[in-house]
Structures are given as C-alpha cells and as structure tokens.
C-alpha cells in the first residue's frame, strides 16, 4: 500500500510538472546574452542539454561563457521555483523542461539528451 501511495504521488507530481509550459524566454536574461547564445547555437558552439541547462561544445570566449552562465543561473532559479510549487526536485524540473527545449530545437542545432552525447538535431 505504501508503494502504491508513493507511486501515485510521484505520478501526480510528474504529470503536474509536465503540464507546466516552457515560456518562450525561459528565464530573465539580457538581450545581449540571448543574442550571443542564439548565434552560438546556430554555429554549433552551444546546445541544449538533457538536464535543462545550456552546454558549451566548442571554444567560447569570455563573453559567450558569461552569457551561458547568466542564462543557466536564471534557469536554475526557475527550476527551484517550479520544484517548490510542484513538489518535485529541481533536477526533475530541469529535465522536464529540457525534454521540451530539445523537442523545440531547430534542425541543425546541437542537443545532448540526458545520459547521451552531443548530436546534431
């Protein structure tokens, strides 16, 4: 009985999380950071990872590293807030968001599914 209750609670938490829409701008970020990351994504230097954070694949200057760090810091806060509201872990919130972000990534961009390796979509 305890296992069924736990399984039901987990399923309800995950279904609540799955219904949370990913905003077009996932986090508060500067326009300059967004533009730098978008250009780096198009060039194959930055991609979406299965944990919900951006990853750097190739050489990146300090400005690009700072832009990625800014966006990832904002995402971390969003995942913590989502976790607090839905009762899941921040990691689960990030992974759920990552599935949506990877699915929406345009063809040609680099993505890294959870437990996988970088691939061109």
CA quadruple 23, 24, 28, 34: dihedral, nearest 10 = 160
Please state the domain count of the chain.
1
Give a yes or no: residue 24 inside a domain.
no
Give a yes or no: residue 110 inside a domain.
yes
Domain that includes residue 9, residue range: 2-19+29-120
pLDDT per residue of the chain (121 residues) written in tens, 0 to 9 = 443 433 333 343 444 444 444 444 455 688 999 999 999 999 999 999 999 999 999 889 999 999 999 999 999 999 999 999 999 999 999 999 999 999 999 999 999 999 999 999 9
Give a yes or no: residue 99 inside a domain.
yes
pTM for the model: 0.78
What pLDDT was estimated at residue 21? Answer: 45
């Amino acid at each position: 009985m305890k296992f069924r209750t736990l399984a039901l609670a987990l399923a309800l938490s995950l279904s609540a999380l799955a219904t949370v829409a990913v905003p077009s701008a996932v986090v508060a970020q500067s326009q300059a950071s967004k533009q730098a990351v978008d250009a780096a994504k198009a060039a194959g230097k930055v991609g979406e990872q299965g944990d919900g954070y951006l990853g750097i694949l190739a050489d990146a200057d300090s400005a690009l590293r700072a832009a990625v760090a800014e966006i990832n810091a904002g995402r971390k806060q969003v995942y913590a807030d989502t976790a607090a509201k839905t009762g899941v872990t921040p990691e689960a919130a990030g992974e759920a968001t990552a599935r949506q972000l990877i699915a929406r990534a345009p063809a040609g961009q680099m993505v890294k599914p959870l437990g996988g390796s970088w691939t061109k979509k």
